Structure 1
Amino acid sequence: MNDPRRTERAPGLSLKMRGMLTAWLFVSPTVAGFMVFFLGPLIAVVFYSATEWNMLSQTSTFVGWANYQDALTRNPDFWHVMRNSVVFALGLVPMNIALALALAMSLYRPFRGVVVFRTIFFAPVVTSAVAWAIVWKFLLQGEAGAVNQILATVGIDGPNWLREPNWAMFAVIVTRVIKMVGLNMILYIAALQAIPRDFSEAARLEGATNWQIFRMVIWPNLAPATLIIVVITMIGSFKVFDHIYLMTGGGPENGTLVLAFYIYQQAFEFFNVGYASALAIIMFFIVLALTLVQILLRRRGSL
């Protein structure tokens, strides 16, 4: 008779092998998705970047590093686009972080109606980006726009925000900040609530002012959260596409033509897939380098 206490095992498979097989079965959907939707396209982009492949004529020629050389040394439009991308990032990242921190400092402590205010400021994050951009495009029109009509009531003649080169970039940055600031606000609120209140109370008993408490107690404890927020916001600023496409189309006079939209133009308007792929690889390494620099500065205590 078989002993009922004896453990049944699959023939030829040890307990360790069965455990490994079960684990791989559980992670296989994620691995398959990673291979199909991330690693596969990444390899394809690297391959296309070394070719002159035209979607319209479906012809492909291996050119090696020529696309990269064209972008970095021969095409002046690339450096104009890079300047716009840097201006966009330098305008969006500090403004977003400063506003998010100010909102978080105002809303991280409980008071009557705090949930309502948090919801109001977070609502744009979950709003459709397409709807958001289209609505703001109407609001920022010339004399017919609601923004200029409001300014006219106080005697201010507002510009045509999206049609003047000096104002278009500013308008796109501000609308993007308002759209995404709620996410960083929530991250800062979580970080502020994790700081023990004993720190601030001890500093106050020692005679510290509110500014000294913020600078010496709160801000150092927010450094890890700030690093994450800066990295996420900076990467998002280089990837922005929908706002540019829907609000300005890269104009006026290519004043808002940023790298992500330029890649789209080259690939799907001019059908230069090889050159667009090279630009995408360049953008990847730019964002990677900026991220590593910020992590290094954080480890050295400079951020």
Structure 2
Amino acid sequence: MSAGHKTQFWTIARRDSAAGYLFIAPQLAGIVTFVLLPLCLVFWYSLHEWNVLANTFNYTGAQNYRMLLEDPSLPAVLGSTALFSLGLVVLNMSLALLLAVLLNQKLRGIAVFRTLFFSPVVVSLVAWTIVWGFLLQKNGGINGMLLFLGIEGPNWLREPVTAMISVIVVQVFKNVGLNMILFLAALQSVPNELYEAARIDGAPPFKQFRRITLPMISPTILLTSIITIVGSLQVFAQIAVLTQGGPGVSTTVLVYYLYQQAFQFHFFGYGSTLSILLFVIVACLTFAQWQLRKRIVFYEN
């Protein structure tokens, strides 16, 4: 009776389900340990004032969230964050798509150029940023080249407008190769028969690109836009190495402001509150982009 009951309980469907759960258990444990648990802890910390130096941990309720609404520096920080993200996303994706189109040619030695444009992606981020920091100094390499052409360059990292442009350009050159490879893979998957039919109908190249290429690679455009936007909101090392958020708060993005509040000023409770704000912004933008897929993404049946 017992053996029969055991055999009946472990049906084929249940054994398959148990095997599936065992396969996903390591990844699920990682998500819980490194994503869900830290997120819950950050929310818990945001309800407290935690002073590491004084060894105090006091419950303050919604006090940190009231501070968030009353913070006079936050509007400027959010403005800098929006400006940085917008500039980075537009420039990165436009340049990546242009490079992908240019490199999607069956020419001799084209693989060398693909490697050259992708190589910055695998370079150490800090090393890349330090080198650019030297190039962008008042007497650095960039101004040296401009001076050779008879142009006196600005102090790139010490003026508000040029500082923001500089950090955007440095980040674009660092990661444009990743989006370029994704776009290149998408372009190579577009059937040639569509272009041949368009050429027979007399469609010019730009119309072929607008009517065939863009719709066919729209799923990749959606993917790269989500990756690039989320990445732009998490940029820290470039700001810390190049400008330290200055001059003023012109390049102080939300992640760097969070770092300042939590680890420079030791306001860990308020820093956790800023983390919650960042999480909400990223989640809302990702959700909005995912909803737009129904209108702008073409899926081939």
* Fold agreement, TM-score > 0.5: yes
Match of 2:108 among 112, 124, 141: 112
Tell me what 2:3 maps to: none
Q: How many residues align?
A: 292
Residue 157 of structure 2: SS of its match in structure 1?
coil
Aligned pair 1:248/2:243, yes or no?
yes
Match of 1:121 among 117, 120, 125: 117
Unaligned 5+ residue runs, structure 1?
Answer: 1-9
Tell me what 1:134 maps to: 130
Aligned pair 1:31/2:23, yes or no?
no
Aligned pair 1:151/2:143, yes or no?
no
Q: What is the CA distance between 1:297 and its match in structure 2?
A: 2.6
Tell me what 1:6 maps to: none
Q: Cα RMSD between the aligned structures?
A: 1.9
Residue 53 of structure 1: SS of its match in structure 2?
strand
Alignment of structure 1 residues 39-58 onto 2, 5 Å: 39-58=36-55
Tell me what 2:208 maps to: 213
Tell me what 1:97 maps to: 93
Tell me what 1:200 maps to: 195
Aligned pair 1:225/2:187, yes or no?
no
Aligned pair 1:278/2:273, yes or no?
yes
Deviations, residues 12-57 of structure 1 (Å, cap 9, x unaligned): 9735455544444433322222222112111100111111122222
Tell me what 1:293 maps to: 288
Residue 239 of structure 1: SS of its match in structure 2?
coil
Match of 1:183 among 178, 181, 186: 178
Tell me the distance in 2 between the aligned counterparts of 1:247 and 1:181: 19
Tell me if structure 1 keeps the 8 A contact 2:43–2:272.
yes
Unaligned 5+ residue runs, structure 2?
Answer: 1-5
Tell me the distance in 2 between the aligned counterparts of 1:171 and 1:69: 34
Percent of aligned positions that are identical: 47
Residue 233 of structure 2: SS of its match in structure 1?
helix
Q: Give the residue type in structure 1 aligned to 2:92.
A: N
TM (normalized to structure 1)? Answer: 0.91
Aligned pair 1:235/2:223, yes or no?
no
Tell me what 1:88 maps to: 84
Deviations, residues 146-191 of structure 1 (Å, cap 9, x unaligned): 1100011111111111111121010000010000000000010011
